[in-house]
Chains A and B, each alone.
Chain A
Amino acid sequence: MIRTLRAFFLRRVLREKLLLVAFLGIAVVMWGSSLSSRAGRFFRAKTATTEQLKEQDFWLKQKPQIEAATHQAAAQMDPAKTLDPTLLLVEVRRIANDAGVKFNSSNVTPGPNVGQFSINTLRLTVPSADWHEFATFYQHLQERAPYLAITELAMQPVRSNAAQVTATMSVSSFEIRH
């Protein structure tokens, strides 16, 4: 068959031969370019998926150890002293009142639930507080560790009164639900 095609091709006039080669060449370039681009995208997606599947395999294999570690870590806490979102706000407000500090807060952000455990976070701003009162508030919060923990603190002095600071902080509580 190839011989017949070859003889047919060789019998054509030069113009037809050149046109055929040119059309085939253009088709090869266009299709090849498109195919290589799509193949490249496919291989990148395939590699990424392979990596993600490997990572998932890793985590799924680690599940028993991680669950055991979570329970072991939680076992260090007294469930009666842990605070849910409401108790977190109530406790922080009580400590602030005792220290003579006022604060503005947004709602408590509950963390993701992992079984019966979660970590809740309260973000609050203490505007223009006397330095000593703020320090007392801070120390009383620290006394409630690890059931209450300051996880973020930003302070800046009040310009009109060097003895005062404005602070923004995040306070987290660990919760064990019964």
Chain B
Amino acid sequence: LVAPASVALFGGDVKPATTVVLSSAEGLTAIHWETAAVPSRVVFRPLAAEAADEDRARTRDELIRDLGGSKVIVDLLVAPAAEPGGSDTEIVFRSGDFVSRLSRTVLTSVDVRDKAELAALRAARKRDVVLWRLTLGCAAALLLMALGELALVGGHAWQKVRVAKLNARAPAVDSIKQAQELATNIQDLVTKRFLPLEMVTSVVGANGDRKPADLVITRITSSAASGTRGTYSLVMEIQTTNSAQVPVYRNELQKLPECESVNIEPLPSQGDRSMFRVTVTFKPGALKPEAA
């Protein structure tokens, strides 16, 4: 800021009818407030550098008399100085106990320097403030991450305890699961009969007359280990040179009262023979064991 020193005192918190007299080597400056809002008059009286104290006192009295109506008079012997590290919106000046706060907008307008230069300075300051805020943001983020690291270390220690508990309980839990599986298997042995040959007889017919002669069964599999569906399901691999017979066979199987569903999916063909996988699922309990 480049401006008369007295300007720095314009933001003083004063009562109405107050006069501030600022003493300097060049002379005396009197600032008068009729109301508390803004100064109403500023008067300067030059003094010679070698002026005696009596001359200074006399000039001061003349100044106050000229201004008139002063109820409070404040004498300042040192020039106001800006306090460091103020906010971005105002600057605080101090001269002895007298404090003056001026907004940057006001100060910009009273600055006597070239306006273009001032604009460049303002832009540089804005940029610097942005950089400072970025720096602060980064520092805050680093601090948060340090806290995060500490939390993670604590979390790992907690997790270690939990994993130890998990491992300690695993054998007991495994034996309970095995007991459950065993109970299910025993129940299945007693109540759910796995009848793979009866399923084969059902799909090919007692004398092999249900299956069209053009269809050749190359493999049949069934497994009770595949769960409830497996207990009642049969998978056949079929090859044929007459693919038209496959839907006929499917319709034939679907008509069976014990049959729940038939699913046919094509497999890669071998030469002129088409291959299919036929999955037949039976209704639980619909098949009865064959007598020996």
Contacts and interface: CB of A to CB of B under 8 A. Distances in A.
Interface in B249-292: 289-292
Contacts of B142: 24, 27-28, 31
Nearest to B235: A154
A21 B189 contact: no
Given A27-B142, A53-B162, A153-B196, A42 B152 contact: yes
Contacts of B182: 70, 73, 111-112, 114, 117-119
Interface string B105-149: 000000000000000000000001101101100110110010011
Contact of A24 (B138, B178, B225, B289): B138
B241 interface: no
B175 interface: yes
A77 B186 contact: yes
A76 interface: yes
A142 interface: yes
B145 A35 contact: yes
A109 interface: no
A145 B193 CA distance: 8
Nearest to A45: B159
Taking chain B's interface residues, is the majority helix, strand, or loop, or is none over half, making it mixed?
Answer: helix
A119 B182 CA distance: 8
Interface stretch (A2-10, A85-93, A100-108): A2-10
Contacts of A146: 186, 189-190
B173 A59 contact: yes
Interface in B57-93: 84-85
Contacts of A145: 189, 193
Contact of B177 (A10, A42, A59, A73): A59
Interface in B5-58: none
Contacts of B134: 21, 24-25
B220 A56 contact: no
Interface in B159-192: 159, 162-163, 165-166, 169-170, 172-173, 175-180, 182-183, 185-187, 189-190
A155 B159 contact: no
A38 B152 contact: yes
Nearest to B88: A6
B128 A153 contact: no
B38 to A, nearest CB: 29
Contacts of A135: 197
Contact of B183 (A45, A70, A153): A70
A142 to B, nearest CB: 6
Given A21-B131, A56-B169, A150 B196 contact: yes
Interface of A: 3-4, 6-7, 9-10, 14, 17-18, 20-21, 24-25, 27-28, 31-32, 35, 38-39, 42, 45-46, 49-50, 52-53, 55-56, 59-60, 62-63, 66-67, 69-70, 72-74, 76-77, 111-112, 114-115, 117-119, 135-136, 138-140, 142-143, 145-146, 149-157, 170, 172, 174
Given A21-B131, A66-B180, A139-B290, 5 more contacts: A35-B149, A39-B148, A114-B178, A146-B189, A155-B221
22 contacts: A17-B131, A20-B135, A21-B131, A35-B145, A35-B148, A46-B159, A49-B166, A50-B162, A52-B166, A66-B176, A70-B180, A73-B182, A119-B185, A140-B292, A149-B189, A149-B194, A149-B224, A152-B222, A154-B220, A154-B222, A155-B200, A174-B185
